[in-house]
Structure 1
């Protein structure tokens, strides 16, 4: 049990108050010239000094407190045998024993104090009275029982607090790990959908420039590769700071998709058609960023993996949702065979993760040799 200075103070004050009251009783009832009276008051003074030294040096005593308490108990027993009026001083000592001593020592100390009180009371009693024996035993038993119950409850409360602290620390560690994993996933998606696709485009452009080196076309392709590198550098800076794609700066999602389709066709040769259906509604910034990233990844897959000649991107405003459809005429694939650890299938899980953060969903239809149709939908008003 942790140290409580207020409880120590209460016990110490109670002891000195009872000691002073007992000394005053002895002095009032007996002649100060009587040898027993002088001896009792002298021992009481010694007990006060010994106890007071322990109070002053309480923190310094540390592990030596039981030794100090043993000396106090010995002097108290002698004092009670000399003058039974000091029997009340045993009460706060019961509490000290319960706080400082192990169970066997507590029982022995309580028995010693109780026996001293009984012996002192019987010594001065004119007629032996059972209450002189039973009362001290009852008081000692009650004090011990109450204190042990309190100690048990305090120990249980401390265990509960320790469990709560441990649970809080475990939860904080779990949240930290979850946050780190979420951030790692975000960066992985951004790298896949921006830097990886951009580097792939740069590689294709430079390969084409190499094949026509020395011509005007090679210089045009090299310039396009440099422009893609600049765009990817800007995108890298933006996704590190968790900013929206540069294409959405001050523009609508439809304009950004139209620009994406035009750039993709110009750089890769993929015939890319953009269509918009329905009355435009307020697509949230987070949802617009996710749909744009999904379109970028889908078109990059059409070029790099599907070998498609044409892709159609359709943005549909459905009133309560916004839908993005990307269809290509490439070689197609088996959707069940993609995913982490299955080749280069990070794109689809990454798209689903992005959409899930804004309450959206993804559906993919594809068969080998039959092209691919991808449909992403986000409810209006849903924000991550």
Structure 2
């Protein structure tokens, strides 16, 4: 890209300066037509100026050499013809741009004095008008340049601030997207653990029991196989509903209490433990997400009791209180230490389900002392209930 000694923020002023220089030079050449040497010098000065402003951006050193030669040529022509004196005005802007501020202002002052001196040389003396003209031009050039640079610096600060805000917003968008993906991944993990994984575990336990009874009690083995087939059908329905993001099949045509009772009965049929279910309090309508959470927590707790606790008795209680609903799953199995990291993903998934609805999940257990899981959910406002 072709540029000139002015930097991009000064480009509007640059075109004005170049135009002013060429117009003033043309006027000076017209006034100096009778003198061939002045005309030739003026043309050479114009060519030299254009060569400097149309080349690729020079480094500061060569640009200042160009400015010094341009100033020398202007001074010679200003002494030869008064029409060239006014070319000092565009030179003011070049000084202010190409020189550091500590040198630019004194340079403008010296250039102003040179313009006043050249005018006095041709007029035979110094008048107030001859002093005010270049001085006002220099003051206007200094004020315009400083004001424009200040505006540009402010604009640049705002541009940098906007860029930083845009980058920050992009980072926030990426962070929110990552958080959403992690949340969805956690949700999918909980759903898979509480539905498909638990169902597959039940099927495996039933098939093992059927194989164990195959040689001794074919009737019992056949019953186990039928239960496994039913569990597989339920698991398939869970998988299909999971893909469609629907509620558990057990909730689609029944109340929460009936759904928990069927889950309990199904778990009892697949386990050697005695499992009972009861409801306490006055049942209240709950939003679907509450019922889904309680069903999944019950499935997870019963699955843990069947696979890990080796309990003889398991009790499931759904309690409706004035401002909350509580699901308790208690067994008399071998227990465990809830503080151990190996406590498993299931408890963490159940805890996340309760926490997502503003509730809590409490686990009380110790080795050899059974396990009690209590999920407490605050009842939503009456208008939010189903």
Q: TM-score by structure 2 length?
A: 0.76
Distance 2:237 2:49 in 1: 81
1:81/1:117 contact within 8 Å kept = no
- Match runs of 1:45-56 below 5 Å: 45-46=46-47, 49-50=50-51, 54=54
- Alpha-carbon distance between aligned partners in 2 of 1:110 and 1:227, rounded to the nearest angstrom: 94
Shift of 1:242: 4.6
Partner of 1:294: 297
Query: Is the aligned partner of 1:123 residue 2:113?
Result: no
Count of residue pairs the alignment pairs up? 363
Q: Does the CA-based 8 Å contact 1:23-1:86 persist in structure 2?
A: yes
Spell out, residue by residue over 1:280-312, the C-alpha distance to the aligned partner (whole angstroms, 9 max, x if none). 323111111111111111111221222222222
Counterpart position of 2:86: 85
How do 1:304-383 residues align onto structure 2 when only pairs under 5 Å count? 304-335=307-338, 337-338=339-340, 342-381=341-380
CA contact (8 A) 1:110 1:140 kept: no
Q: 1:1-384 counterparts in 2 under 5 A?
A: 10-23=12-25, 26=28, 30=31, 32-35=33-36, 38-39=39-40, 41-43=42-44, 45-46=46-47, 49-50=50-51, 54=54, 61=56, 73=67, 76-77=70-71, 78-79=73-74, 81-82=76-77, 83-94=84-95, 97=98, 115-125=110-120, 126-127=124-125, 142=143, 145-146=146-147, 149-150=150-151, 152-213=153-214, 215-239=218-242, 242-335=245-338, 337-338=339-340, 342-381=341-380
Deviation at 1:155, TM superposition (A): 4.6
**Alpha carbons 2:275, 2:313 under 8 Å: kept:** yes
Report the CA distance between 1:118 and its aligned residue: 3.5
Closer, same or farther: CA 96–278 of 1 in aligned 2, 3 Å:
same
Deviation at 1:181, TM superposition (A): 2.8
- With over 3 angstroms needed to count, the CA separation of the structure-2 counterparts of 1:178 and 1:35, relative to structure 1, is same
CA deviation after TM superposition for structure 1 residue 208, in Å? 0.7
Contact 1:195 1:236 in 2 (8 A): yes
Cα drift, residue 76 of structure 1: 4.3
Q: Which runs of 5+ in 1 are unaligned?
A: 98-102
- Cα distance in 1 for residues equivalent to 2:159 and 2:140: 28
Change (3 A) 1:148 1:49: closer
User: Contact 1:209 / 1:222 at 8 angstroms: preserved in 2?
Assistant: yes
Q: TM-score, normalised by structure 1?
A: 0.77
CA-atom RMSD in angstroms: 3.9
SS at the partner of 2:113?
A: helix
